[in-house]
Amino acid sequence: MSAKDTTVSSTVDLAEVFKESGVQDVLRELDEELIGLAPVKDRIRETAALLLVDQARRDMGLATETPTLHMSFTGNPGTGKTTVALKMADLLHRLGYVRKGHLVTVTRDDLVGQYIGHTAPKTKEVLKKAMGGVLFIDEAYYLYRPENERDYGQEAIEILLQVMENNRDDLVVILAGYGDRMDRFFQSNPGFRSRIAHHIEFPDYSDDELVQISEKMLDDQNYVLSKGAKAALKEYIDLRRKQPHFANARSIRNALDRARLRQANRLFKTAKGPLNAEQLSTIGEEDIRPSRVFRGGLDVDRRPEGDRA
């Protein structure tokens, strides 16, 4: 090996390291694909900065150990937790902290068995699939059910804790769920709390952000809102937010799906002659206002099982 090969650089250009890493592409995608979530995006940028500096230190031969990267994502349903987890997996892969950069999403049912001897194989199989990437455990607090003496969640927890400690160079675990329930979960399981270095809280979207999200969702499918429909949607969001089981962007997506259904039926019933692209692509006020929300009722979308991110 030549002397040049063993030379350790005495300086580093972090801007150049950032550019070459591809991290800026991930951060740009976050900004383009996710509306709002400013504090979340700030935390992702901070984490990226930490890892880039860690890499620079390694390149300089400075003593360092791999940072603990296990995370907790807390927030209400529909606030983008799964989407951010996907981007985090990509970011960690680009920086070389995971080999594959894939995301494996699971819930309690994927990890915990229903009889003796069933849990360990299930949990280990999930971990095998997730190695080299990120394991996203939604509604993680359901792993722990102290009220049920015959529950096997504790066995899954013990296996997860061991792997999180021993394989942290090859697996990042993200626990997700409601903030208050996750707090109680960590209090009951201090082993998890000690292994989670990054706690990121996902705020609810504002009404204006939900309108923007609605327009983006429709634009992705080549639909637009008429002026009246946009005004009606603003009213819908204000009313729906006050009802039970409001799931942020997910509730809005469900509402838009029903609006498209109404629009299609309206066109079939009222169209006289050929329709142009604008007519086929415009959601009107009459497609929004039939919702029962405007009459004080609960919208037809029922709360999905759990609180999917």
pLDDT at 14: 84
User: What is the enclosing helix (H) or strand (E) of 176?
Assistant: strand 172-177
Report, as ranges of residue numbers, the positions in the chain whose pLDDT lies below 70. Answer: 1-9, 63, 149, 300-309
pLDDT at 309: 42
For 147, phi then psi, to 5°, come to -75, -15
pLDDT at 232: 97
pLDDT at 305: 40
Determine how many CB atoms are found less than 10 A away from the CB of residue 92. 22
pLDDT at 234: 97
For 135, phi then psi, to 5°, come to -105, 120
Cα–Cα distances in angstroms (integers) from residue 255 to residues 101, 234, 281, in the given order: 33, 12, 16
Residue 305 in tokens: 């099982």
Q: Which residues contact residue 305 at a Cβ distance below 8 angstroms, ignoring those fewer than 6 apart?
A: none
pLDDT digits (tens, 9 = 90+) for 82-119: 999 999 999 999 988 999 999 999 999 999 988 888 99
Q: Which residues contact residue 86 at a Cβ distance below 8 angstroms, ignoring those fewer than 6 apart?
A: 103
In whole angstroms, what is the distance from residue 189 CA to residue 182 CA?
10
Q: Where are the alpha helices (DSSP H) in the chain?
A: 3-6, 14-21, 23-33, 38-59, 81-94, 108-111, 119-130, 153-166, 179-188, 190-195, 207-220, 227-241, 249-270, 277-281, 285-288
Query: pTM for the full model?
Result: 0.85
Determine how many CB atoms are found less than 10 A away from the CB of residue 206. 13
- Domains along the sequence of the chain with CATH: 3-202 (3.40.50.300), 207-295 (1.10.8.60)
% of residues, the chain, pLDDT over 90 = 68
Q: In sequence order, what DSSP letters do the residues of 247-282 get, joined into one string?
A: -THHHHHHHHHHHHHHHHHHHHHH--S---HHHHHE
Taken as a whole, the chain contains a residue count of 309
pLDDT at 22: 84
Q: Is 43 helix (H, G, I), strand (E, B) or coil?
A: helix
Cα–Cα distances in angstroms (integers) from residue 192 to residues 163, 169, 200, 204, 258, in the given order: 12, 17, 15, 25, 41
pLDDT at 3: 41
Q: Are the CB atoms for 240 and 293 separated by under 8 Å? A: yes
DSSP state of 155: H
pLDDT at 308: 40
